[in-house]
Structure 1
Amino acid sequence: MNTSLVSCWPRLAKALARAGVTAEREGHVWRLRREQAEAQLLLPAEFPLELKAVSQLLDFAGVGWPDRPQPVRCACATPDFHPGSLAPVGSIVATDPDVVVPAAIGTDINCGMRLLTTGVSQAQLAAHEPRWIALLTRRLLHGETDAPVPAAAFRALFDDGAAAFLDAVAAQGVWAGADRSRLQRELAGCVGLSRFGGAARHAPEAWVRGTARVRAPDLGTVGSGNHFVEFQVVEAVLDRHVAHAAGLRVGEVAVLIHSGSRGLGFHVGQRWMDRAHESWPAGHRHPASRLYALRGADAHGFLEAMGTAARYAWLNRVVLAEWVREALEATVGAAGSRLVVDVPHNVVSAEHGLNLHRKGATPAQAGQWALLPGSMGDASYLVSGLGHPDWLWSCSHGSGRAVRRQTLRREATRDAAATDWRCLTLREERRWEEAPEAYKPIGPVIEAQEQAGLLRAAVRLRPWRTFKA
């Protein structure tokens, strides 16, 4: 055990020792080891190291089979690191290219962020606030959605991709007012989308059979938990070249959307987690972590199924963005809205000859834009990736949770009336569970990653109005 760890964090040192973990710290970097597993963690000094999250990360790093114990090449975690259900949030694990771990990303496949410009100032939007809030409350909170999709368009999406879907979908409902050519152009700003495979056979049969018009009940919905649609004000430009390219100007409003693949992600994710469990060799003791890997043809099958759900997650965020554009154009005529970037943080991606499992972590190749939100009361950032190989070409997906939802339910929350941001929701518990104090401060998260060479901050945005379903 590292002497400095024992002297500075005696309780943590004892807990790690009981768990068979050795830990060394140099600056913001922790190096963690356990039998047949090792990982590194980037964590600001003021953030606590959570034993449960460390154990989950090393479980993830040590996944394998009785006859092939070490298919993991590298494991690391970013400053938003905290425990998840099986794999920790804020982790990236690289496996051999014929290996995947379905439980690493779970059921919210291709959960991600989508940032839009509006081209209008906060003052302009504030003057019409009651009207656009009423329109979006109907869509985002009451679920008055209208996003019909013919089965043929779903088949096109799952078999051929996003561009084929936009060519195939009928001009009905939300699609009647959507600018198809703009949506086609915006595909270039969707990180990783073109690499996802897919096949209609992985989707619910009712969605892809025949010629009927399908109403997927959760298409164009935000989802629960930490998902949101948030109106933000550009507060500071830190890299004027990126800000100019993104179309972001100080004082103007942008909209950040955080959602995923909804029911289809659960349909795909649970099925393949079950399949991985069932494939464990008979007669061998199952891993205590409940993390199971797939290899060979099964791994390729998972990636195809995952890509199917990932394409649906893209579509879900597109529909949410179109609800926003619909409301703005009906009130302030904001027809100049454009996509800044759409980026995933919960997928397996084939990169650099490896399968990179990002669980609550964002791709950050050199020059690639990423989105890191703080909380309803803290800033969000548009950043530019620096492509650091030691951190698997990744960065955090936000600030990271600091307090469990169950704890916050038992505590009084701050008086939101004293702030300039507001949460719009029909469920009061969202204000408790997602209160700003539930999250780590975003400042140290950004600073640590800049110092370590993972990213460069480009634009800071502050929250204004947040929709939580």
Structure 2
Amino acid sequence: MSNPQRLQRAFARHGIALDYRDGIYRVHNEAAQATILLPATLPLEEKAVHQLLDFAGVRSADGHAGVCRACATPDFHPGAIAPVGSVVATPADFVIPSSIGTDINCGMRLLTTGLGLGQLAPHKDALVKRLTRSLLDNGRDVPVSTRAFTALFDDGPDAFLDRLDPLGLWAQCDRERLRAEVQRCVGLASFAGHSRHVPAAYRSDAHAVFRDPSLGTPGAGNHFVELQVVDAVLDRHAAYDAGLRAGDVVVMIHSGSRELGFYVGQAWMDRAKLAWPAGVRHPRSGLYGLQGPLADDYLQAMGAAARYAWANRVVLAELVRKDLEAVAGAGGSRLVVDVPHNVVLREHGLNIHRKGATPAHAGDLALIPGSMGDASYLATGLGHADWLWSCSHGAGRAVRRQQVRALKAAPAADQAWHCVTLREERRVEEAPHAYKPIGPVIEAQEQAGLIQAAVRLRPWVTFKA
């Protein structure tokens, strides 16, 4: 348990004032301030606080624009540049590309299978074999023309679906179901986009068809595809609306924009630094914002990558649906919700930058995973303005990957969790003890009025690349 007095003394030595009341840390230094929702039982990491205050202090070169507000959710922990679980708001003509980094629109997608555990369990071995091939071992066939990709980036998801040729995976998917499911994707309709911002391979020839090596892949790190079981219904009305009952098997997908997102994100972090005026002292933090037309251009580039991340999760979902149908005749799958994490969305006249945080507007569904040995939650947002209409995107890491790599994974027979991976180090890096317990993270957000938990999901089989 954190000791507030000890923390105050420790942070004061680094020029940071800290106060803790009612589960909320209020921190500030000479340049910025922020609030952090964190139970006293969970650690407050100094590096994450420094990162958050650095972003809270970002200003334009002329000093006239910058961050209006900064806060963090209970999965708060250090990131590569921005802390995970952070939310910053800026005026509508100012953005900070490094606040969301390169994993643009990393997000979650939740599907029903239409089957209960009792119906699907007898098919587990066959299903795991097929999904391992499809998700991890390059067993997918996902041809997409550059014409369809260009439509995605220039015109959006509906145009992408309209221009897909009926080849490979697309020959057997339910195109009308996919069109209807676009409406259940939080924030997707607000993304701009243009194909000029993406690598040339996606737009080089209007008639070319290629198999993108990234499309339909989960990615490394904390990304996953997981079969889960509805463990408890906590809000029966929300669960009914979502089509979920106790014992149902669902599919949770966590993935982002892969190499395309890295290309866009890195290019625009570099662009923000290059755009800093000559003769003006660079910010000590090394963090740069973009203002005016450049901010609009960035949002268009980010939106192109965000649309690709949506398409990536669609392909992952369709691969799972294909194998569920082949193995168990499960053809009644439907999308519950698709939510973004690392994006900038224009809301309430502001640009809301969420790094490892999820939109939680009143009535919107949110997905909050724990770990592959802990529960995940479907929740309903309550639209709390003090927390910038956001909630956590997970439990948050408790132990850095560098620290856990020296450990060995427990023998499979000793595990209460089932991880399927072709890379043994994933079992170590992503083991449940590397993450915070999900219970206090959910409870803190319920008590603070950010969310209402609707359904608790327990992991059954987790696929990690």
**Partner residue, 1:273:** 269
**Partner residue, 1:358:** 354
SS in 2 for 1:35: coil
**Partner residue, 1:163:** 158
Per-residue CA distance 1:107-151 (angstroms, 9 max, x = gap): 000000000000112122221112111111111111222111111
* Superposed displacement of residue 24, structure 1: 0.5
SS in 1 for 2:76: strand
Q: Which amino acid aligns with 1:200?
A: S
Matches within 5 A, 1:58-457: 58-68=53-63, 71-210=66-205, 211-457=207-453
SS in 2 for 1:45: coil
**Whole-Å separation in 1 of the counterparts to 2:282 and 2:407:** 39
* Superposed displacement of residue 406, structure 1: 1.0
**Whole-Å separation in 2 of the counterparts to 1:438 and 1:135:** 29
Per-residue CA distance 1:184-222 (angstroms, 9 max, x = gap): 000110000000010011111121122111221110001
* Superposed displacement of residue 66, structure 1: 4.0
SS in 2 for 1:72: coil
Would you say the 8 A contact 2:276–2:282 is kept in 1?
A: yes
SS in 2 for 1:367: coil
Equivalenced residue count is 463
* Superposed displacement of residue 67, structure 1: 1.7
Q: Which amino acid aligns with 2:186?
A: V
Give unpaired runs (5+ residues) of structure 2. Answer: none
Would you say the 8 A contact 1:343–1:370 is kept in 2?
A: yes
Q: Which moved more, 1:80-89 or 1:417-426?
A: 417-426
Percent identity, aligned pairs only, is 64
Q: Which amino acid aligns with 2:451?
A: L
SS in 1 for 2:34: strand
Per-residue CA distance 1:222-259 (angstroms, 9 max, x = gap): 10000000000000000111111111111110000000
Q: Which 4+ residue blocks in structure 1 deviate beyond 3 angstroms?
A: 8-11, 412-416
Per-residue CA distance 1:327-349 (angstroms, 9 max, x = gap): 00001111000000000011000
Would you say the 8 A contact 1:86–1:289 is kept in 2?
A: no
**Whole-Å separation in 1 of the counterparts to 2:225 and 2:97:** 28
**Whole-Å separation in 2 of the counterparts to 1:69 and 1:44:** 35
Would you say the 8 A contact 2:61–2:276 is kept in 1?
A: no
SS in 2 for 1:464: strand
Per-residue CA distance 1:251-290 (angstroms, 9 max, x = gap): 1100000000001101100000000011122223322322
Would you say the 8 A contact 1:107–1:265 is kept in 2?
A: yes
SS in 2 for 1:378: coil
Would you say the 8 A contact 2:4–2:19 is kept in 1?
A: no
**Whole-Å separation in 2 of the counterparts to 1:183 and 1:411:** 42
**Whole-Å separation in 2 of the counterparts to 1:403 and 1:281:** 40
* Superposed displacement of residue 68, structure 1: 1.1
Would you say the 8 A contact 2:255–2:309 is kept in 1?
A: yes
**1:460 aligned to 2:456?**
yes
**Whole-Å separation in 2 of the counterparts to 1:175 and 1:161:** 18
Would you say the 8 A contact 1:15–1:51 is kept in 2?
A: no
- Residues 215/412 of structure 1: CA separation in 2 closer, same or farther (3 Å cut): closer
Task: Provide TM-score, normalisation by structure 1.
Answer: 0.97
**Whole-Å separation in 2 of the counterparts to 1:207 and 1:94:** 32
Would you say the 8 A contact 2:380–2:453 is kept in 1?
A: yes
Would you say the 8 A contact 1:86–1:290 is kept in 2?
A: no
* Superposed displacement of residue 86, structure 1: 1.1
Q: Which amino acid aligns with 2:82?
A: A
SS in 1 for 2:456: strand
**Whole-Å separation in 2 of the counterparts to 1:236 and 1:284:** 57
Q: Which amino acid aligns with 1:333?
A: G
Q: Which moved more, 1:86-95 or 1:125-134?
A: 125-134
**1:51 aligned to 2:46?**
yes
SS in 1 for 2:40: coil
**Partner residue, 2:19:** 24
**Partner residue, 1:12:** 7
**Partner residue, 1:40:** 35
Over aligned residues, Cα RMSD in angstroms? 1.2
- Residues 200/287 of structure 1: CA separation in 2 closer, same or farther (3 Å cut): same
Q: Which amino acid aligns with 2:367?
A: L
Per-residue CA distance 1:157-200 (angstroms, 9 max, x = gap): 11110011111100101101110000000011000000001001
Q: Which amino acid aligns with 1:246?
A: A
Would you say the 8 A contact 1:79–1:396 is kept in 2?
A: yes
* Superposed displacement of residue 72, structure 1: 1.0
SS in 2 for 1:365: coil
Q: Which amino acid aligns with 1:327?
A: D
**Whole-Å separation in 2 of the counterparts to 1:416 and 1:385:** 37
**Whole-Å separation in 1 of the counterparts to 2:319 and 2:57:** 44
**Whole-Å separation in 2 of the counterparts to 1:217 and 1:365:** 35
Q: Which amino acid aligns with 2:390?
A: S
Would you say the 8 A contact 1:86–1:291 is kept in 2?
A: no
SS in 1 for 2:266: helix
Would you say the 8 A contact 2:65–2:94 is kept in 1?
A: no
